[in-house]
Amino acid sequence: MKHAIFILLYDTAYMRDYIKRYPGKDVILTQEYIKKTDDLNNELIQMVQQYPGTARFNLKFYTQPFKFIKDFVRQSKNVAGVLNFCDDHTDQTALLSISALFEMFGVPCSGFTTRSLMTSHNKFYSCSVVKELGINVPETHFCTKHNVRDMHITRFPVIIKPIDEGGSEGIDFCNVVHDQNQLTSIVNDITSKYGDAIVQEFLPGSEVTIGVFRHGNEIIPTEPRMSRFINFDDVPAIIASNVKWHLDKKHEVVISTFDGDKTIKEQLINDTIRIFKTFNCRDFARVDWKQDANGVYRFIDYNENPGYYSTSLFRWCLVNKGLTFPDLIHAIIDNLIARIKN
């Protein structure tokens, strides 16, 4: 009988080494951030150890992913399941494909699926799928530096985004362009740094984020989080990377629970759940929406790996629904144990 559960946590040793090697390269990755990550690791360890459903398993915790991988491959016949809490904010992008390893060995796991993560990391794919569901999406074009001059954009302004970056990486105010010459210049810049991109109809209104998670057969929505853009008259109303991490006094993003039409709120929640189901998300995900010029909310992004930090958008939605972080983690553990039994 398989008796072990492997638990992969955050690699804070690598984070510390990263900021020594590349000081100032990453505006998010600081000593304070890493300290919070250590605290998060300890919190996750406690919750897993103290949860009654894990008592019959041999629990093995890892913060070094490549040691985890070696041990997992060698001992996979004894591994009943994997709790994958790893979401390192570093350059270890290879870890995003780690779920393929669990799937190859047929070991139940938590966290993102390979298929869903691949789709969420391609904004053109995800917009195309959501559009087929009959859900409002902005007009979206796949773009490379080779086809930009052949694109037939009939309506400006548009926004250019890297096709697979998160955390508003690669998005600045200059990414919103108003004519073909600007478009060519910015696309060339974005594709030279990040590879392929999307060119998308610019939506100037408020933004809404909704988290959703699975507990057994139940899919539970969290509280919609609304972001309103105040004093953005001189720049486009977007969550640019510099605004996201370093808000200034002039450009203010006001956060609140959704206080608009109840019918619209219900529709956004229902569509978020439909997206969660369609992409076959495993445990939890986050879906982002933004208003067009007519006030209609359109899908802009989904994230099947939205992070566990206390400052994350998902945690905000969870807490404002009256739920707790342990509620989420216990649901994830329950889901894994159910997969082990099946």
What is the reported pTM?
0.93
Return contacts of 129-135, CB within 8 angstroms, 24+ apart.
129/278, 129/279, 130/275, 130/278, 130/299, 130/302, 133/271, 133/274, 133/275, 133/278, 135/271, 135/274, 135/275, 135/299
Is CATH 3.40.50.2300 the classification given to domain 203-341? no
Tokens 């796991």 locate to 109
Q: Is there a common fold for 139-201 and 203-341?
A: no
- Which tokens sit at 37? 């990550």
Cα–Cα distance for residue pair 190/162, rounded to 1 Å: 7
Tens-of-pLDDT digits for all 342 residues of the chain?
A: 689 999 999 999 999 999 999 887 777 788 999 999 999 999 999 999 999 999 999 999 999 999 999 999 999 999 999 999 987 666 777 777 899 999 999 999 998 888 887 888 899 999 999 999 999 999 999 998 888 878 888 889 999 999 987 767 778 888 999 998 899 999 999 999 888 999 999 999 999 999 999 999 999 999 999 999 998 888 888 877 655 545 566 778 899 999 999 999 999 999 999 999 999 999 999 999 999 999 999 999 999 888 888 889 999 999 999 999 999 999 999 999 999 987
Please tell me the class of the 139-201 domain. alpha beta
Cα–Cα distance for residue pair 30/113, rounded to 1 Å: 29
Angle (nearest 5°) at CA 45 between 41 and 47:
115
Binning the chain into helix, strand and coil, the percentages to the nearest 5 are 40, 20, 35
- The residue extents of the domains of the chain are 4-109, 139-201, 203-341
DSSP line for 291-341: E-TTS-EEEEEEES-----TTSHHHHHHHTTT--HHHHHHHHHHHHHHHHH
Which of 148, 127, 129 minimizes the C-alpha distance to 196? 148
pLDDT for res 1: 66
- Judged by DSSP in three states, 258 sits in coil
